[in-house]
Amino acid sequence: MSLPRSSPPTPRLFAIVPLLLLALYPRPGKELFIANSPENPALTKRIQALSPTVSFDDARRVTYCAVTTGLELARQWHVSGVSRWLPGLQNLYVKMGARKGGYCFQYCSELLRRLDALKLQTLELHWAESQPGTMSENNAIVVTARGQPFEQGILLDNWRAQGHLAWTQVTKDPEYHWTENRSFAAAVLRQAQTEVRERPR
């Protein structure tokens, strides 16, 4: 028997609402930002604040490269409006052959190549992975000051908002727990060097 439309909400509904709110908002101490502008001052400032040794020019170039790379790849891979906020949908399009790219490792590989080409003097680049080998795997780039531990770095993720750069301090990500994969980073950069050597002159 169904309840009349005028019935007051049940206590069960009141128990569900706080759980939904908790799911929508990051946990205390967790944060995630979106950089839509290549001149994003907040990200540049945060990268420069990694260490007194980090130059403003390096921080500014990383911000510009990370934001423009994501936007360019999203256009190239025909990311739709819905896919921007549901990145798994773009993955499905790629799997079906309807799109040429948009997987997390594709965004990440191209960003690593472009950042490496900047020949940064005061920053280091790291390949970050979360839940590797699973359906929930994600890859991103972490930037640190030279000699600084991976865990102190800033995470740069073009996949999560499909072209718009998501960033945070790597240990404060509200969605993923990240670890470094140095061997994969080295493999991506070796492949990039091979492609340059084999390119017709």
**Which tokens hold the place of 150?**
């991976």
Q: How far is CA 16 from CA 2, 11, 199, in A?
A: 20, 9, 58
Is 70 contained in some domain? yes
Is 2 contained in some domain? no
Is 28 contained in some domain? no
Q: How far is CA 12 from CA 3, 4, 16, 20, 24, in A?
A: 14, 17, 6, 13, 19
Please report, in angstroms and rounded to a whole number, the separation of the first and last CA atoms in the chain. 77
Is 138 contained in some domain? yes
Is 166 within 8 Å of 157 (Cβ atoms)? yes
Is 172 contained in some domain? yes
Is 3 contained in some domain? no
In the chain, the amino acid numbered 198 is: E
Residue 169: strand pairing partners: 154
Rounded CA-CA distance 149/176 in Å is 18
Is 35 within 8 Å of 42 (Cβ atoms)? yes
Is 47 contained in some domain? yes
The pTM (predicted TM-score) of the whole model is 0.80
Check residue 25 and give its pLDDT.
Answer: 42
Check residue 192 and give its pLDDT.
Answer: 82
Distant-in-sequence contacts of 60-64, Cβ < 8 A, 24+ apart:
61/118, 61/120, 62/115, 62/118, 62/120, 62/123, 62/143, 62/156, 63/35, 63/38, 63/39, 64/38, 64/39
Burial classification of residue 78, based on how many CB atoms lie within 10 Å of its CB (0-12 exposed, 13-18 middle, 19 or more buried): middle
Number of domains in the chain: 1
Domain span at residue 64 reads 33-198
Is 76 contained in some domain? yes
Longest dimension (CA), the chain: 77
Rounded CA-CA distance 146/141 in Å is 15
Local mean pLDDT, 10-residue blocks, the chain (201 residues): 40 40 49 93 98 98 97 85 60 68 84 97 98 92 98 95 92 96 95 72 62
E-state strands within 7-101 = 33-35
